[in-house]
Amino acid sequence: MDFITWHFTQGTKKFLEIWKNYLGFFWWYFGISRHFWTLFSSWKRDISRVGRRGFHPVLWIQSVFENIVTRFLGAIVRSFVIIIGVFVELIAAPSGFFIFLIWLFSPLLIVVFGIGAVVSSLYGAASFALSGIFLFLISIFLFYASIRSYLAQDKSASEISLENFASQPWFSRVWQRIGKDPTGEEVSSFSNPENLKEFLRSCDITPEEFQKIIEWEKTAQDKKEQKRKFWLKANLYNTLPIGQNWTYAYTVHLDRHSTDLSEGDPTEYKESKLVGHVQDLELLELILTRPSQNSAFIIGEAGVGKRTLVHTLAKKIREKTANPYLIGKRVLEINIGEIFTGLTDQGRIENVLRSIFFEAAYAGNIILVIDNLGHFLKSNPKNPGDDISAVLAEFLAAPTFQIVGLANPAEFHENIEKKEGLMKYFDKVQLEEMTGDQTLEVLLYNLKDMESEGVIFTFQALREIIKLSDRYITDSPFPEKALDLMEEVLLFWSQAPAEKYIGPQTVSEVVSKKIKVPLGEMRENEKEKLANLEEIMHKRVVGQEFAIQQIAETMRRARVGMASSTKPIGSFLFLGPTGVGKTESAKTLAEAYFGDEHRMIRLDMSEYRRADSTDRLLGSVEINMTGQLTNKVKENPYAILLLDEIEKAHPDILNLFLQILDEGWLTDAFGKKINFRNLIIIATSNAGSDFIKAAIDSGMDPQELQDKLTDHIIKEGIFRPEFLNRFEGVIFFHPLSKIEITRVAELLLEKYAQKLKKEENINIQFDSGIAEYTVQKGYDRKFGARSIDRFIQDSIGDKIVKKLISGEIKKGDDFSLGVEELLAQ
């Protein structure tokens, strides 16, 4: 009974809607109304002579003659199309009514025509029998279509249980998306929410994420079903009507230099999907429908979706879903750079542009799209074509001349924004970077063709791509950086597919190779290194047990993901006198965490005492100078940033690092966002050295000393509390004891011997007592370990150099050096 009720109510309404869609489609496709009102318009109106200056009688007569001929041709062609369209409409109207009657009464007609065909055949009425059979088959077909339509009714997700979802053929993709092959065990767990939650937990998937996966796959399946329904209005109108542009001018030169996005997008953006910028698209449509100031700049970083926005607009115009005013507009993308190829004369360049812009303005239905328009509107042009603002200004006042310019923020602020004469004709559409959820939708959409036969990327892998690209890829925004990383992961996996699906560990491995920093699940050697980080660091740093322990604990937290993802990997303020191991600790940490002690950016903050130091670090637009700090961070985004003698920097510099330590990024002088989240930031200072020595001599507990040292520094006004609180650890380095100083001397002598072996191929052995002698003669408390290193380079090094010059030792020799020999010099 439900079906019968539906057949005569909702089913009837649906059939009438389909019939109406076809009648409207034929009228629109043949352009009957449009061609009737433009019946005597020119056929492919040539505008090449419109802008000609002066009166030329012969050319005028020629133009008049051609105008008469083209209008006559236009009338013939349009009349022919109108006649065909009306003929199709006259056939479609009664045919549709006839089919509707059969469809409506198909349950009854099946019986009537079936019996009629049998009776006719028994009495030899062949023609009646064939007619009955034909109508019988049509009735069955339409009745079957009615049943299919009834069964295919969409139900809301709340009306369908999870078990029913799981019975659908497409649901196997849900299992594959979480890295599992469908089995009865998982399906049975749907009846128990706790079992399902436990199963999802074992897959590292939350119930919310699982529901998101189901909704995505269901939506994708629904879209496939919608595409098969060719009778739907959206599918019918997804084609170009006959003679859409016959009423507009024939833009010969413009067509030669442009790509028409309105007649079928030939670019890679044809199937692109606009995500997260729906309001921006609505704003762009609104700007383009204005009677004046109807041009727009789309501003955003490369990869944020500027071109996708434009191509989506063109697609909406093609499919007749855009603002009605824009229907019939041609969206033409021109590459000005290619037009200028080979042209070196400013006059020739401007003439070419004038001919193109004139055709666009006169045609009346053109929207010009110019990528990187800011590149051609430079404030201080050096080459022809660097500034086309003068030519643009000649046409922008015309309401039929519309431009959509694409520009990045830096070019817009540096070149375009200053040109007030142009900006009064433009409005801005500012595109922001996508969120992680929006980027996930883009990734899934871009996988639809690649995964048509089966899932390749698990949800966990896509989630990891978004997470790691956000953290470690700093030179491009979402979604581009996530799409690029997904492509790299696919390429890596395809070369040696160890797993059936691409999981998060594969993603971590690709990013780890890319940035040379360990990520993902820890291997045994890395686990051992992290567990024994204190011991590893003590191989190069003598003493300082409390400081090394704090550093190691912080780095272990960072590696297992317990550190903040919106701040640098780690941040420390090393306090203590000169030469006690602060810089050596930084080098050791660089080697242990990044694999090389040279993965370090080192700045002497005593060089940034002046008020203009901020410009030196961040750059200056006025003198077109990039920043020393920002340049080094962009070149070495995964390293240690060592800020020596931080207390000597200008207060504005300290304020600058408040944001860096708190948020993990800053903006340079050119508006570029610089990411510091993949750095370990270490600032060193000699502040409080005397206080540390006195506290150590008194036997103060290290933890108590750290608290009181912080209070002492704040009380003395060396650093403000908010600056100290930004560091994860304020770590003090105490003065070295005599035993520790001797151990430092041994390490430095060993390091010197390794250098001599590497550079001169000489093996040197230092006799016992050399370390004590080096400390006795070379140690200066004011300079700490640096004084010992200087003594080794000067005194011991000088002794060896003299032996080399005299020929006493040669490359490849082995020799030993004792205290007596040093005393003899």
pLDDT tens per residue across span 2-38:
888 888 888 889 999 999 999 999 999 999 998 999 9
Amino acid present at 465: I
Q: What pLDDT was estimated at residue 54?
A: 58
Q: What pLDDT was estimated at residue 695?
A: 84
Q: What pLDDT was estimated at residue 424?
A: 94
Q: What span, in angstroms and rounded, lies between the C-alpha atoms of 413 and 497?
A: 47
Pairing state of beta strands 673-675 and 665-667? Answer: antiparallel
DSSP assignment of 195-221 equals HHHHHHHHTT--HHHHHHHHHHHHHHH
Strand partners, 729: 572
Check if the beta carbon of residue 630 is closer than 8 Å to that of residue 619: yes
DSSP code of residue 682: E
Check if the beta carbon of residue 445 is closer than 8 Å to that of residue 486: no
Q: What pLDDT was estimated at residue 629?
A: 95
Q: With a cut of 90, say whether residue 210 has pLDDT above it.
A: yes
Angle between helices 459-472 and 504-515 (to 10 degrees): 20
State both tokens at 426: 């433009």
Q: What pLDDT was estimated at residue 66?
A: 77
> pLDDT band at 49, cuts 50/70/90?
low
Strand partners, 406: 298
Check if the beta carbon of residue 50 is closer than 8 Å to that of residue 120: no
Q: With a cut of 60, say whether residue 212 has pLDDT above it.
A: yes
pLDDT digits (tens, 9 = 90+) for 397-416: 999 999 999 999 888 988 89
Check if the beta carbon of residue 652 is closer than 8 Å to that of residue 604: no
Check if the beta carbon of residue 307 is closer than 8 Å to that of residue 480: no
Check if the beta carbon of residue 540 is closer than 8 Å to that of residue 590: no
Check if the beta carbon of residue 587 is closer than 8 Å to that of residue 597: yes
Amino acid present at 807: G
Q: With a cut of 90, say whether residue 366 has pLDDT above it.
A: yes
pLDDT digits (tens, 9 = 90+) for 687-730: 888 888 788 778 888 778 878 888 889 998 999 999 999 998 88
State both tokens at 363: 């045609």
Percent of residues, the chain, with pLDDT higher than 70: 95
The 10 Å Cβ neighbour count of residue 59 is 12
Check if the beta carbon of residue 369 is closer than 8 Å to that of residue 310: yes
Q: What pLDDT was estimated at residue 53?
A: 53
Check if the beta carbon of residue 187 is closer than 8 Å to that of residue 240: no
> pLDDT band at 83, cuts 50/70/90?
very high
State both tokens at 618: 């961040």
Q: What pLDDT was estimated at residue 285?
A: 97
Q: With a cut of 90, say whether residue 81 has pLDDT above it.
A: yes
The 10 Å Cβ neighbour count of residue 293 is 14
Q: With a cut of 60, say whether residue 305 has pLDDT above it.
A: yes
> pLDDT band at 61, cuts 50/70/90?
confident
Q: What pLDDT was estimated at residue 85?
A: 96
The label of the residue with tokens 């920093």 reads 517
pLDDT digits (tens, 9 = 90+) for 384-396: 788 999 999 999 9
Collapse the DSSP code of 684 into the 3-class scheme (helix H, G, I; strand E, B; otherwise coil) and give the result.
strand
Q: Which helix (H) or strand (E) holds 704?
A: helix 702-715
Q: With a cut of 90, say whether residue 104 has pLDDT above it.
A: no
Q: What span, in angstroms and rounded, lies between the C-alpha atoms of 752 and 769?
A: 16
Which of residues 421 and 699 earns the better pLDDT score? 421
pLDDT digits (tens, 9 = 90+) for 113-140: 878 778 777 777 777 777 877 777 788 8
> Cis ω on the peptide bond leading into residue 479 (within 30° of 0)?
yes
Residue 388, φ and ψ in degrees, nearest 5 = -105, 15
> pLDDT band at 187, cuts 50/70/90?
low
Q: With a cut of 90, say whether residue 661 has pLDDT above it.
A: yes
Q: With a cut of 70, say whether residue 186 has pLDDT above it.
A: no
Collapse the DSSP code of 499 into the 3-class scheme (helix H, G, I; strand E, B; otherwise coil) and give the result.
coil
Instruction: For CA atoms 663, 665, 667, 673, give the dihedral sign.
Output: negative
pTM attached to this predicted model: 0.81
End-to-end CA, the chain: 115
Q: Average model confidence (pLDDT) for the chain?
A: 87
Nearest to 295 by CA among 179, 423, 455, 402: 402
Percent of residues, the chain, with pLDDT higher than 90: 44
Q: With a cut of 60, say whether residue 144 has pLDDT above it.
A: yes
Q: What span, in angstroms and rounded, lies between the C-alpha atoms of 680 and 658?
A: 15
Q: What pLDDT was estimated at residue 797?
A: 87
Instruction: For CA atoms 588, 590, 596, 598, give the dihedral sign.
Output: negative
> pLDDT band at 158, cuts 50/70/90?
very low
Mean pLDDT of all residues in 101-120: 83
- Most confident segment among 305-314, 543-552, 554-563, 736-745: 305-314
Q: With a cut of 90, say whether residue 607 has pLDDT above it.
A: yes
